[in-house]
Chains A and B, each alone.
Chain A
Amino acid sequence: MKTNPSPLNARLPREGRIAARLAHRVIEGQAFVLDPKENVLHRLNPSASLVWKALSEGKTPGQAAQSLAQEFEVGLEEAGRDTASFISELRDKGLLEDA
């Protein structure tokens, strides 16, 4: 299988798996994430919502960054940085878990 030689893949984690305990939907472009254990509802901003939607569809962080670049008309480098930052923040909040 060919790998993308872009530096994007070096920066981004290979996987971003949404924590199984979460209930979530993307409604009108906005992701709402409910943590039933903590009873806390989160709303993600539009770009983070796009990344979330991609991850929820089983796409890799790299593919999520590509969607972000396309949708928000930014360069792949910037989209990669933003995606890495979102994923790190989501992981810190326990919304993503290790594979």
Chain B
Amino acid sequence: MPEAGPSLLEELHGLAESAFVPLTMVLELTHRCNQDCGHCYLPRTSRTAGPRTGGSSELGTEEWLRVLGELADAGTLFLTFTGGEVLLRKDLPVILAAARQRSFRVEVFTNASLLTARDADLWADAGVAAVGVSVYGPDAACHDAVTGTPGSFDRTLSGIRLLRKAGIPVKFKIPLMAGNASTYPAILALARSMDAAWQVDPVLTPGNDGSDIPARLGLCDEALAEAFADPLLCPTESLTNAVQPGPDDPPCSAGRTFGSIGPCGDVYPCLQWLTPAGSVRTSPFKEIWTGSSALIQARAIRWKNLKPCPSCGKTHYSHCQGTSAIERGDPIIPSGASCRLTAAVDRAGARRGLKTVLAASAAKEKP
């Protein structure tokens, strides 16, 4: 007797949470990339290296196929393949076909600039449910300045057209930076003209090597507040309906129902939280997921364990354990990035006459 409905997704997440089922996994097939974006969180050395990363080699085709079987057995339903640029993996069609055979819901993140008509057809045949494509500007001058790759805008748009022609839903992924912030209305118009969805992210991620990318290339505080003040980018309900976590709630799903695997097989609580839990190259995934002390420790963190922000003295509901681990060396110390984000959203809410609930005055006082 099938039942259907949107709340089922919440039930599914609740069920997965109660049993620590890794419902959603992000698989980084490679760190190599054909573009040279300054804001990328991957260190340039890993993007320009060969299939060997940091002294160890990328997982091979057979290894990824084995891992897909292990993830299916562990209960993973939602898979995202990302890079680097996934199209630099020549075995991508084989991996996608295997994912379909294992009955995952598959999403792919790509810059689409290397995509051919044959790739688009193969992805459609493999049942790829959605493709996220990075778009940085409404024209070649703006986009190519971000990618550092002349011609990339035209190639990306060509790839998007091929995906749409193959019937695959596309979402523009639009990070806002100082260099492109004023162009987002035009990028959204472009997305609409190509029958694509869009997602604007006003916040850049710190580099995996600790480099302060947001300070170097991101929006200034005023521009960040302006972005959140736009109801188009930040709907009213996302400001006012935020659920205030309880002291015993976990800060997020990282390491609980969500995880990632790097190109060389290292398992992490999240793409951004790079505490290695083990390698699927040497151990079965389920053994790592259930037995790794790194993941067990990650799962033990609750809101009440978070320290007050060293800058503002509050705790932030936008707290990101991964960003904190990179920036502060500790997932429970709020990062400067989450402090800026909270302040910007509070200012934006005030401008719109909304009461936001994004910070608490101290961890102990949280509801």
Total residues of chain B contacting the partner, CB 8 A:
28
A25: interface (CB < 8 Å)? yes
Digit string of A23-47 for contact with B (CB within 8 Å is 1, else 0)? 1110110101110100011111100
Q: Is A95 an interface residue (CB 8 A)?
A: yes
Q: Which residue of A lies closest to B11 (CB)?
A: A43
Closest A residue to B73 by beta carbon equals A25
Asked if B288 is at the interface of the complex by the 8 Å CB criterion, the answer is no
Report the bound CA distance from A22 to B103 in whole Å. Answer: 6
B77 closest partner in A (C-beta) = A25
Q: A34-B105, A41-B9 are in contact. Are A48 and B19 (CB under 8 A)?
A: no
B contact patch SS: mixed
**Which residue of chain B lies nearest to A48 when distances are taken between CB atoms in the complex?**
B1
Ordered by A's residue number, 15 sampled pairs between the chains whose C-beta atoms are within 8 Å are: A24-B103, A25-B75, A27-B16, A28-B15, A28-B18, A33-B2, A36-B127, A41-B4, A41-B12, A42-B2, A42-B8, A43-B12, A44-B1, A56-B103, A86-B1
A30 cross-chain contacts in B, Cβ below 8 A: 15
CA distance A89 to B21 in the complex (A): 29
Question: Which residues of A sit under 8 angstroms from B11, Cβ to Cβ?
Answer: 43
Given the known A-B contacts A23-B77, A27-B21, A34-B105, are A41 and B15 also in contact in the complex, defined by CB atoms under 8 Å? Answer: no
Residue B129 interfacial (CB < 8 Å) = yes
User: B104 on the interface (CB 8 Å rule)?
Assistant: yes
Which of A34, A41, A56 has the most chain B CB atoms closer than 10 A to its own CB?
A41
Number of A-B contacts (CB under 8 A): 71
CB distance from A92 to the nearest CB of B (A): 10
Give 8 new A-B contacts, CB below 8 A, not counting A23-B105, A43-B11, A56-B103: A20-B100, A24-B103, A28-B18, A28-B21, A32-B12, A41-B12, A42-B3, A95-B2
Given contacts A23-B105, A41-B9, is CB(A89)–CB(B1) below 8 Å?
Answer: yes
Q: A2 contacts the other chain (Cβ, under 8 Å)?
A: no
A22: chain B residues within 8 A (beta carbon): 103
Q: Is the pair B3, A32 in contact by a Cβ cutoff of 8 Å?
A: no
Bound-state CA distance A16–B77 (Å) is: 21
Chain A to chain B: the 10 pairs with minimum beta-carbon distance, closest first: A23-B105, A36-B129, A42-B2, A25-B77, A45-B1, A41-B8, A42-B4, A43-B3, A24-B103, A32-B12
Contact of A27 among B3, B12, B78, B129 (CB under 8 A): B12
Residue of chain B at shortest CB distance from A52: B2
Q: Are A23 and B75 in contact (CB under 8 A)?
A: no
Q: Check: A76 CB closer than 8 A to any chain B CB.
A: no
Q: Is the CB of B2 within 8 A of A44?
A: yes
A95: chain B residues at CB < 8 Å are 2
In the bound assembly, the distance between CA atoms of A35 and B112 in angstroms comes to: 25
| Chain B residues, CB < 8 A from A23 | 77-78, 103-106, 129
- When distances are taken between beta carbons in the complex, the residues of chain A under 8 Å from B21 are 27-28
Given contacts A21-B127, A95-B2, whether A27 and B75 have CB atoms under 8 Å apart is yes
Chain B, Cβ-Cβ closest to A56: B103
